[in-house]
Amino acid sequence: MRQPKIVIVGAGLVGGSAALFCALALPSARIVLIDVEKVRAEGQTLDLAHAAAFWGHDRFVAGEDEDARDADIIVITAGAGVKPGQTRLDLIEINSKIVGGIVDRLAPLAPEAIYIVAANPCDILAHVAYVRSGVSRERVISTGTSLDTARLRTLLADRLNVVAPAIHAYVVGEHGESALIHWSGATVADMPLEIFLTRTGKEMGAASRDLILRSVHESAKQIKEGKGATHYGIASAVGRICHAIVTDSNLILSVGVVQAEVEGVADVCVSLPMSINGAGAHLLAYPEFDVTEREALQRSAGIVKAATATALKSL
């Protein structure tokens, strides 16, 4: 790929942080920030330029829609945020209209772009972007449960006293309350989780696993109570996805695309471990789930499917 052009729509905390992570991961990238309030994009760009002066990246631009022409990647972070007492699904109607409008404006300017949707509810909004853009499934990526998976591995690393990269365990399904942990496929230090627990004398019963899942779900709430917003984690996920696309690396992350079918639910965007490369995100092979996990994933997919139908009707 030539010098990559990454357009980030939404210059708030997530968009600004994503620009920084993308610049760190891809020093050659040209990064364009677009926001409905251009002064915000200009402020973020200026701040980023000052930061970049220390290490040489000087390709940040505060732009308008026209500056998205021929973009390689379009990242959508714009949208209303979750307020206290709300869930991500409460944002469906307003953010579907926002994302639909963004795609309608930018798709003709960047017909070869890969989309990354980080605005919430990201799975439903990725489906909206897929329908409105008319591109192939693999080219519209929901950040999905990539951040949930990072949170899971952080919790497990602390509990098991190993570094997070030694853990391969995924959160799958909806990026939301119906997500589940794929315990039956989890490995630690190249061993199935159950064997690792037995050989190290550690225990992780059903109650502990339920607590870990609740902790994954509640991480965002905990962060918001402490600092007011979450942005570094999801921005880092965006940067990692962009890096995998530009470098054509076949990185495996738990992200979503609109799958033809998941556990009997047709045309639904939920997260599974996907290979990410220069063509987008692809499911190499469907994971092996136990009976309980399959039922939970079917439920999760059904929730996303119903919410997506609501979103598409509102457009």
Of residues 27 and 10, more confidence is placed in 10
List residues with catalytic annotation: 175
The answer, yes or no, to whether residue 186 has pLDDT greater than 50, is yes
Each residue of 94-103: pLDDT tens digit?
999 999 999 9
Residue 294's SS3 state is: helix
Each residue of 157-173: pLDDT tens digit?
999 999 999 999 999 99
Of residues 76 and 85, more confidence is placed in 76
The answer, yes or no, to whether residue 1 has pLDDT greater than 60, is no
Of residues 91 and 232, more confidence is placed in 232
In this structure, CATH architecture of domain 5-142: 3-Layer(aba) Sandwich (3.40)
The answer, yes or no, to whether residue 210 has pLDDT greater than 50, is yes
State the CB neighbour count (10 A cutoff) for residue 96: 27
Alpha-carbon distance of 108 to 69, in angstroms, equals 8
Each residue of 239-258: pLDDT tens digit?
999 999 999 999 999 999 99
Q: What is 194-214 written as a DSSP string?
A: HHHHHHHT----HHHHHHHHH
Each residue of 106-155: pLDDT tens digit?
999 999 999 999 999 999 999 999 999 999 999 999 999 999 999 999 99
Whether 117 and 146 have beta carbons less than 8 Å apart is answered as no
Alpha-carbon distance of 171 to 195, in angstroms, equals 20
Residues with Cβ within 8 Å of residue 226, at least 6 apart in sequence: none
Residue 157's SS3 state is: helix
Alpha-carbon distance of 284 to 200, in angstroms, equals 32
Which residues of the chain does CATH 3.90.110.10 include?
A: 146-314
Q: What average pLDDT does range 263-272 have in this prediction?
A: 98
In the structure, what pLDDT confidence band is assigned to residue 55 with cuts at 50, 70 and 90? confident
Alpha-carbon distance of 155 to 210, in angstroms, equals 13
In this structure, CATH architecture of domain 146-314: Alpha-Beta Complex (3.90)
Q: Which of 87-101, 210-224, 258-272 has the lowest mean pLDDT?
A: 87-101
First to last CA, the chain: 34
Which residues of the chain does CATH 3.40.50.720 include?
A: 5-142
Length of the chain as a residue count: 315
Q: Enter the DSSP assignment of 90.
A: G
How high is the mean pLDDT of the chain?
95
Residues with Cβ within 8 Å of residue 143, at least 6 apart in sequence: 116, 117, 118, 122, 175, 234, 237, 238, 241, 255, 256
